[in-house]
Every structure is written in structure tokens, then in C-alpha cells.
Amino acid sequence: MSTDEKLECQCVSRRQVLIGSGVLAASTALMQFGGLLSSAQAKDGSSEKWPWPYVKLDPQKTAELAYQEWYRVFCGGAVISSVFSQLREKVGEPYKSFPVDSFICLEGGMVGWGTLCGSNAGANIASNVIIGPRIAGPECAHGHSIGSDIMQWYCDTPLPAFVPKEPKQPTKIIQTTSASPLCHISVGKWMAESGFALGSPERKDRCARVAASVAYQLVERLNAWKDGTYEPQSEWSPGKTHGIPGQPNCTECHGSDVPKPPMMTKKA
Ligand code: HEC
């Protein structure tokens, strides 16, 4: 059999599976999705509508859920799951249709590239889904602020802050302050100080606890927003002040000679 024929065979068999058993489930899902879209139809005709219904959650319970979920979908997925799994039960749609598990991609600072810690990414996704993106109007700006506040908190706080009720690791997990929202730096500083390697159960439990710590912070802020008492803390907008997106501690990486972005030197 040639390679082409093999490919054709696989396609046919996949189609047959769909026709045979999956088609009913698929069309039901499609109908539900259609219903979701029309119920979320905004006035301007777009299908994006905020806020998504939020009911206040218990930060402690959320953190415990995130801790457990880390071992299934890792940091970013765990933060989103800890909040959305509860809202699926308490609110239902649209949370039931939100593809939580796909955010496993946030692991290791986005598919292992060590960029933004997935916990921070997950918190930003959740706050923007619940409150709205800042471009949706001033009433949605708090989604952005909560994300930024959490990043600031993450930079400044000895992590992990949260200790689970039943830790999966008996070893004492030390805390380190990353001064950065980046996975690479956060994990790197912790590994350097603790002496545990990336693949160690201790490092894994550390990251599970970090995700839980962030989930706790997220829900505390979402609850305050729901009560109307949330005050944004971080006003970091480096694009305006520094001419380049970045984290605040420029000298940690650049030393005393922080480069100026082209626009700031050539045209300003
Ligand atoms: C996490 C480490 C890190 C932090 C924090 C950081 N930078 Fe950078 N930055 C880099 C790296 C790495 C490069 C690319 C190599 C280089 O130029 O040093 C870079 C490049 C730049 C560049 C691009 C062009 C150039 O001349 O090198 C500018 C401008 C810059 N940084 C400004 C800043 C400013 C302003 C801050 C603080 C608001 C900052 N950086 C914070 C790591 C960092």
C-alpha cells in the first residue's frame, strides 16, 4: 500500500467514526454553541459580551482546587480550572462551554518556553473572561487591572505563599521572591536556592503551590470587584513611560546601563 493510500484510509476511517457514533454528540454540541453565541450577542452585533456571570468564591477552596489541578493541567490550566469548574456548577453556561483543558499550553511559561508563568497567564485570562477586556469599555478595565495587580504581587511575594491541607510532598518547600512574572526566572531562582532540579517532585509541588497561591489572590480580587470594593494597585504601563513593554526592574537584567528604545532616543 502506498503512503497516499494509507492517508486516504485514515481519513475515511475517521469520517466513519464521526458518522457512526459521534455525529449526534457533535450536532448537539453545535446547537449548544449556537445557543451560547446568540445569548451572548452584544448590542453591536458582535458575539462578545461581558461580564460573564460571577458569584463570589472561597479563596481557600479555590486554592486547594488549583493545587490538585496542577497535577492534571499544570499552572495556567489549574488557575483557570479552579475558578471555572466552580462557576460551571454555580452558574452553568457559558462556563460549561469554556475549553479549560486547552490552556494546558500555558505550562512552563507557554509550552515550555519559560515566558510568562502560566499562573499569571491563567489569572489574566480568567479575570478578562469574567470582567472583560479593557477595550470593551471602562467598566471592563478591572479585568486588566486585576491581571496587572497579580503580576506585581507575584513579583514581590515570597512564593509559594499557599500551603495545601494535604501536601503531596513532605519535604519543606522553601519560598523565593522572583522579582519577575516570568516562569524562567521564577523557577530558576527557586531551583538555585532550593537545590532541587526541574524534574524533582519538590519543584513540581512548588509550582502547584504557586498556582494555588495565584488562584487565591485572583479570587480575593474578583470577590472585591463583585462587592464594588476593588481598588487597582498596579499602574504599570511601560509603553508610555519607557517606550517598550517590559517588567519594572530594568536593572536586574541590564545592569546600570538600561538601553533606551529607539523612539525615545531618535524622535523624542
Ligand atoms: C528579564 C530581563 C529584562 C528586564 C527586566 C528588562 N529587559 Fe530590556 N532586554 C532584555 C534582553 C535580554 C534584551 C535583548 C538584549 C539586550 O539588548 O540586552 C533586552 C532589550 C531591551 C531593549 C532593546 C534594544 C537594546 O538597545 O538592547 C530595550 C530598549 C530595553 N531592553 C529596555 C528595557 C527597559 C526600559 C526595561 C525596564 C522597564 C527593561 N528593558 C527590562 C532583558 C530585560
250 Cα–ligand 1 center, Å: 7
As a whole number of Å, the CA-based R_g of the chain is 22
Residue 21, pLDDT > 50, answer no
For a pLDDT cut of 70, what percent of the chain falls above it? 80
Q: Whose CA is nearest to atom 33 of ligand 1?
A: 250
Phi/psi region, residue 252 (left: phi>0; alpha: psi -120 to 50; beta: rest), is: alpha
Our mutation pick for probing the ligand 1 site, out of 234, 254, 258, 267, counting the most ligand atoms within 8 A of Cβ, is 254
186 Cα–ligand 1 center, Å: 18
> Per the structure block, which three cell numbers stand in for 105?
499550553
pLDDT top residue among 227 and 30? 227
Residue 22, pLDDT > 70, answer no
What Cα–Cα distance (Å) separates residue 203 from each residue in 90, 132, 167, 168, 177? 33, 34, 13, 12, 15
- Taking the C-alpha atoms of residue 67 and residue 74, their distance in angstroms, rounded to an integer, is 9
Q: Is the CB of residue 125 less than 8 Å from the CB of residue 103?
A: yes
Residue 73, pLDDT > 50, answer yes
CA–chain centroid gap for 51, Å, is 18
- Taking the C-alpha atoms of residue 230 and residue 220, their distance in angstroms, rounded to an integer, is 9
Label residue 46 by pLDDT band (50, 70, 90).
low
Identify the CA nearest to 128 among candidates 227, 200, 54, 59. Answer: 54
The tens digit of pLDDT for each residue in 96-153 reads 999 999 999 999 999 999 999 999 999 999 999 999 999 998 999 999 999 999 999 9
Residue 199, pLDDT > 50, answer yes
Q: Whose CA is nearest to atom 36 of ligand 1?
A: 250
Q: Whose CA is nearest to atom 40 of ligand 1?
A: 250
Q: Whose CA is nearest to atom 20 of ligand 1?
A: 259
207 Cα–ligand 1 center, Å: 26
Residue 76, pLDDT > 90, answer yes
163 Cα–ligand 1 center, Å: 35
251 Cα–ligand 1 center, Å: 9
> Per the structure block, which three cell numbers stand in for 108?
512552563
Residues with CB under 6 A from ligand 1: 180, 238, 242, 244, 246-250, 252-254, 258-261
pLDDT of residue 264: 64
